[in-house]
Amino acid sequence: MSSDAKAVVPLGHVVIRFAGDSGDGMQLTGDRFTSETAGLGNDLSTLPDFPAEIRAPAGTLPGVSAFQLHFADHDIMTPGDRPDVLVAMNPAALKANLKDLRAGSTLIVNTDEFTKRNIEKVDYAANPLDDGSLDSYDVHQIGLTSMTVEALAGFDITKKDAGRAKNMFALGLLCWLYSRSTEGTIDFLKAKFAKKPEILAANIAAFEAGWSFGETTESFSVRYEVKPAPMRAGLYRNITGNPALAYGLIAASQQSGLPLFLGSYPITPASDILHELSKHKNFGVVTFQAEDEIAGIGAALGAAYGGALAVTATSGPGIALKSETIGLAVSLELPLIVVDVQRGGPSTGLPTKTEQADLLQAMFGRNGEAPVPIVAPRSPGDCFDAALEAARIAVTYRTPVLLLSDGYLANGSEPWAVPDATTLPVIEPAFATEPNHDGEFWPYLRDPETLARPWAVPGTAGLEHRIGGLEKADGTGNISYDPDNHEHMVRLRQAKVDAIARSIGPLEVDDPSGEARVLVLGWGSTYGPIGAACRAVRAEGGQVAHAHLRHLNPFPANTAEVLRAYDRVIIPEMNLGQLALLIRGRFLVDAIGYNQVRGMPFTSEELATTITDVIESL
């Protein structure tokens, strides 16, 4: 398809939000546009935002599903605060999203859905397309449904089915508008509808009709182009957090030679880890969908005892149920990876929205002194590295490890430099193979360096031994109720976790000028918004440093030193100040909290204002 007819205007970056009913296929549309954008070499970041209900009542506000994509000719860190373009497939989508638009932004609306009934459903007093309320936007009123039906008139499909292809029409139009290629989407449709040739042909026709409409309509006088972003040379793909985490676990299995076992119970937003791993049996992966969360981790612990790289994946409510077994794993000192893809809480909370409010649960949510190392990824692609790191700690130190992802990382995506599998770190299981104490085997005799105990798996002759959740004597592992021994063991378990700090790199600080007096300290998925906010502050002449924690327990050894080097420390979190509590308690630093619990990533705009205020207060 050629499009020489209209002028092409270059843009640095664009934020597009596709919004419609949860049955309108907005996630698919967004995914396809993302794929085409990734293929063009733009840097990008995405934010799917969908309701917990599978099909909320059509045309209502709770039923709105949206997908936001930020793409640029330069390195970007977030899916964008506000869309430059909103595609609203119905009045509900318009109403739910309009507040995020700046004046002058582009609005593409599907006029066919602006019926009296649909308008009343969302309590608009009048049709917003006619009453002048959208005058400050660049509105394109398009009958997406009717034009799609018209384009598919010759096909042997129902009018309803034809109308359902309107998302492909919209995608075609947007691909034209932003000069995306079409081949990838056509190949994708061919694969998806291979067994339904009529539906396939209709979808391709709708997609191409949308493209052609852009080219011919007077509604759009120009089209845009966003050039590829300069990135380090190499092979790239687009990746979403949950699959990246699953790949990290498979890589850890390969790098350790341990068979991967996942015991899991379906829960949003972690289920995709179970889905992904269940596809990779060719790596010897065994996935077990258990009867409940407790059985999921129980089976994983059993597999760990047998010598597997064992994992359980869940969200906050599941962690609550698994707590007792995590405590048992602390006592047994067996390697176990516990993935918590955090979502809004408490209780069932906001299943499809993101939050960081499980940090203290991960840190302290067990009876007794039961320290557990915590690792948190900072971006979708980083879920891969974080999973590998969690596996390294678990196996090396014979301990359960909490891997704290969140809903935004799980479903968000970004370009990812494909790692070279041959350069990944090797994880050494170092199973015990022979007696370690005067011809006897003592299951709790520790490695003096790591304080890890031997991992002696069943089937190893001569190493028969019993372990359990009762307190055990140092060394022999026999049951012991001795007061001094208990005190010793409690301190030993803590010391072992503390010793992990010796194996992790220092906390690095991003402070380009080296003159900042304010440090922003973050963890997890706030990396992007904090980074973008710091850039914005620096662009206005402010000096600010940013440090981001991958390890939350133990903290890197230089953490105190980093904190003390600044006059003020701001800790932005999607909770009411959980890291801030730990930092204050551990380091006596009067950290300033910046807290939001809206189920959505921060906007960097607001955070930048806060940082600037703190800088100016000095």
Nearer to another protein, 30 or 556 (CB): 30
Please report, as residue ranges, which positions from 259 to 288 form the binding site for another protein (by CB under 8 A). 259, 261, 263, 280-286, 288
Q: For 352-456, where are the alpha helices, taking DSSP H only? A: 359-364, 382-397, 407-411
Quote the least distance from Cβ 243 to another protein, whole Å: 9
| Residue in 120, 130, 198, 292 binding another protein, rule: CB under 8 A | 292
Task: Choose, by CB under 8 A, the member of 14, 15, 38, 432 that binds another protein.
Answer: 38
Coil/strand/helix, residue 248: helix
Measured CA distances, 560 to 378, 387, 550, 563 (Å) = 21, 26, 15, 5
Mask for 335-374, x = binds another protein (CB under 8 A): ----------------------------------------
Separation CA 236–CA 39 (nearest Å): 9
Q: Are 528 and 552 in contact (CB under 8 A)?
A: no
Stretch that binds another protein, among 70-78, 430-438, 452-460, 569-577 (CB under 8 A): 452-460
Residue closer to another protein (CB basis): 154 or 459: 459
Instruction: Quote the least distance from Cβ 31 to another protein, whole Å.
Output: 11
Of 294, 370, 519, 534, the residue at the interface with another protein (CB under 8 A) is 294
Least distance in angstroms from the C-beta of 304 to another protein: 8
Q: Which one of residues 72, 308, 313, 536 is an interface residue with another protein (CB under 8 A)?
A: 308
Contact call for residue 252 and another protein (CB under 8 A) = no
| Choice between 324 and 447, CB closer to another protein | 324
CA-closest candidate to residue 82, choices 608, 604, 537, 594: 604
Contact mark string toward another protein, 16..35, x via CB under 8 A: -------------------x
Question: Taking CB under 8 A as the rule, does residue 251 contact another protein?
Answer: yes
- How many CA atoms lie less than 13 Å away from 427 in the CB half-sphere? 28
- Minimum distance between the CB of residue 236 and another protein, rounded to whole angstroms? 5
Residue 41 binds another protein (CB under 8 A): yes
CA 96 – CA 88 distance, rounded (Å)? 10
Burial of 544 (0-12, 13-18, 19+ CB in 10 A): buried
At its nearest, how many Å lie between another protein and the CB of residue 417?
9
Q: In the set 264, 325, 342, 575, which binds another protein (CB under 8 A)?
A: 325
Residue 236 in tokens:
């790239």
Q: Which CB atom, from 243 or from 316, has the smaller least distance to another protein? A: 243
Which lies closer to another protein via its Cβ, residue 261 or residue 602? Answer: 261
Residue whose CB is less far from another protein, 143 or 184: 184
Beta bridge partners of 18: 67, 87
Of 104, 459, 514, 541, the one binding another protein (CB under 8 A) is: 459
d(Cα 134, Cα 139) in Å, to the nearest integer? 7
Shortest Å, Cβ 325 to another protein: 7
Query: Residue 475, interface with another protein (CB under 8 A)?
Result: no
How far is Cα 111 from Cα 146, in angstroms, rounded to an integer? 9
Beta carbon nearer to another protein, 55 or 437:
437
As a whole number of angstroms, the distance between CA 272 and CA 290 comes to 15
Measuring CA to CA, which residue among 65, 72, 112, 104 is closest to residue 85?
104
Tokens of residue 344, six digits? 């809004």
Site for another protein in 210-249 (CB under 8 A): 228, 231-239, 247
Range 123-142, binding another protein (CB under 8 A)? none
Q: State which of residues 53, 58, 115, 184 lies at the interface with another protein (CB under 8 A).
A: 184
Closer CB to another protein, 332 or 504, in the complex: 332
| Residue 300 within binding range of another protein, rule CB under 8 A | yes
Residue with tokens 């498979």: 250
Residues 6+ apart with CB under 8 A from 315: 267, 268, 269, 270, 340, 341, 342, 343, 351
- Which tokens belong to 89? 């497939």
For residue 57, is the peptide bond before it cis, meaning its omega torsion is within 30 degrees of 0? no
Cα 156 from Cα 198, distance rounded (Å): 7
Residues 413-442 that bind another protein (CB under 8 A): 418-422
Residue type, 316: G
